[in-house]
């Protein structure tokens, strides 16, 4: 059988606690929930220009052309699955490990090699809701993604002379609640609203509704129809008297403030001002779904 040497990022993602899920929710409900997770993991792989090698039970094995692409897919998987409703009494979740390195591609499309072995081992280090990778892979990431990682431990892997430095990729955006609470205690925000217009419908962010999620998934508060949008693309939230747009998508969020040039957010935040347009995964010039906003 012909074989080909290559370099790739290999990712393993599996549903955490699936055995217990079958016990508590029943075979039919558990299988439907796991199948949904598998579909999401496949879709996220495709969106990041990866390739699903195979699925084994509740696990998906994929390859990607770059470390950034694997990281983007991993973040997208965790974001989308975190939005799923509980199954029975359990909140479903996945664990992910990925690694860049040499692989051998067989004629039937299956792969093996060092990157596969390390990625598989890393996936078993991860716990529910975690994304784990190795330091060598982190060093190949873009500065923005690299800044979202932290070292957590060292592990020994069979066939490796030296220990592997294990890093976690922090995919959840968090706000410093203490700082914000302190700020609110001494600062009285102005009465501001954000008017959003999408697909001919208006939505208003104010004192009553302070945040809104956006994405292709039907569970999003603003459902985006553009094919380049991510399932869980981002959010807009009120912070004091400002409205902050946060991107956590695979393809980025394009923002144009009236009178300014268009900018692209990739895992970044942007404070909305004046009036303008927000597009999902592609520029305003080609977008099929455009969110217009007005700070009032």
Residue listed under structure tokens 């899920």: 21
Three-state DSSP state, 171? coil
* Residue 192 tokens, joined: 């501001």
CATH number for the domain harbouring residue 88:
3.30.70.1230
pLDDT at residue number 102: 94
- Per-residue model confidence as pLDDT tens digits over 26-70: 888 888 999 999 999 999 999 999 999 999 888 999 999 999 999
- Min mean pLDDT across 14-28, 56-70, 210-224 is at 14-28
Asked if 79 and 231 touch (Cβ cutoff 8 Å), the reply is yes
Q: Positive or negative, the Cα torsion across 178, 209, 243, 223?
A: positive
Q: What DSSP string runs through 248-275?
A: --SS-EEEEETTS--EEESS-EEE--SE
- 152, 169, 186 - which closes a domain: 169
Mean pLDDT of 72-78: 93
- 141, 169, 197 - which closes a domain: 169
Mean pLDDT of 149-178: 77
pLDDT at residue number 178: 33
pLDDT at 239 over 70: yes
pLDDT at 184 over 80: no
Instruction: Find the distance separating the first CA and the last CA of the chain, reported in whole Å.
Output: 66
**Residues 133 and 190 occupy one common structural domain:** no
pLDDT at residue number 2: 59
> Three-state SS string across 274-296, please?
CEEEEEECCCCCCCCCEEEEEEC
pLDDT at residue number 175: 41
**Residues 129 and 252 occupy one common structural domain:** no
**Residues 159 and 115 occupy one common structural domain:** yes
Find the domain containing 66 and state its range: 3-169
- The closest of 59, 58, 63 to 46, measured between CA atoms, is 63
Residue 100 CB: number of other CB atoms within 10 A? 25
pLDDT at 181 over 60: no
User: What is the count of structural domains for the chain?
Assistant: 2
The greatest distance separating any two alpha carbons of the chain, rounded to the nearest whole angstrom, comes to 71
pLDDT band at 168 (very low <50, low <70, confident <90, very high): very high
Cβ neighbours for 225, distance < 8 A, ≥ 6 positions apart: 199, 216, 288, 289
pLDDT band at 235 (very low <50, low <70, confident <90, very high): very high
pLDDT at residue number 187: 35
- Min mean pLDDT across 73-87, 153-167, 244-258 is at 153-167
**Residues 76 and 205 occupy one common structural domain:** no
pLDDT at residue number 52: 96
**Residues 32 and 146 occupy one common structural domain:** yes
- Min mean pLDDT across 54-68, 113-127, 203-217 is at 203-217
What's the whole-model pTM score? 0.59
**Residues 145 and 223 occupy one common structural domain:** no
Asked if 183 and 190 touch (Cβ cutoff 8 Å), the reply is no
Residues 262, 265: Cα–Cα separation, whole Å = 10
Residues 282, 289: Cα–Cα separation, whole Å = 10
**Residues 165 and 233 occupy one common structural domain:** no
pLDDT at residue number 238: 83
- 119, 139, 169 - which closes a domain: 169
**Residues 130 and 216 occupy one common structural domain:** no
pLDDT band at 296 (very low <50, low <70, confident <90, very high): confident
Residue listed under structure tokens 């998508």: 249
**Residues 31 and 162 occupy one common structural domain:** yes
Query: What is the residue-averaged pLDDT of the chain?
Result: 87
- Per-residue model confidence as pLDDT tens digits over 124-153: 889 889 999 999 999 999 888 888 898 888
pLDDT at residue number 185: 33
Mean pLDDT of 265-270: 87
SS3 content of the chain, % helix, strand, coil (to 5): 25, 40, 35
């Amino acid at each position: 059988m012909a074989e080909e040497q290559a370099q790739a990022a290999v990712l393993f993602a599996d549903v955490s606690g699936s055995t217990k899920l079958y016990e508590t929710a029943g075979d039919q409900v558990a299988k439907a929930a796991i199948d949904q997770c598998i579909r999401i993991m496949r879709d996220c792989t495709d969106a990041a220009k990866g390739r699903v090698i195979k699925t084994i039970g509740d696990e998906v094995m994929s390859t990607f052309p770059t470390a950034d692409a694997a990281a983007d897919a991993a973040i997208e998987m965790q974001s989308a699955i975190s939005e799923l409703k509980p199954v029975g009494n359990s909140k479903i979740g996945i664990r992910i490990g990925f690694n860049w390195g040499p692989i051998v591609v067989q004629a039937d499309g299956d792969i093996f090699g060092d990157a596969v072995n390390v990625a598989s081992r890393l996936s078993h280090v991860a716990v529910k809701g975690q994304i784990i990778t190795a330091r060598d892979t982190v060093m190949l990431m873009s500065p923005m993604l690299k800044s979202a990682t932290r070292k957590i431990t060292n592990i020994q892997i069979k066939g490796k002379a030296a220990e592997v430095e294990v890093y976690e990729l922090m995919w959840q955006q968090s706000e410093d609640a203490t700082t914000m609470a302190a700020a609110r205690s001494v600062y009285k925000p102005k009465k501001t609203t954000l008017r959003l217009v999408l697909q001919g419908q208006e939505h208003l962010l104010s004192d009553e509704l302070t945040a809104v999620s956006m994405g292709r998934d039907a569970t999003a508060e603003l459902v985006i129809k553009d094919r380049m949008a991510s399932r869980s693309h981002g959010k807009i939230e009120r912070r004091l008297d400002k409205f902050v747009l946060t991107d956590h998508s695979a393809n980025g969020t394009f923002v144009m403030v009236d009178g300014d040039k268009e900018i692209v957010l990739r895992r970044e935040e942007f404070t909305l001002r004046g009036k303008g347009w927000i597009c999902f995964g592609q520029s305003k010039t080609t977008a099929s779904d455009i969110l217009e906003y007005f700070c009032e």
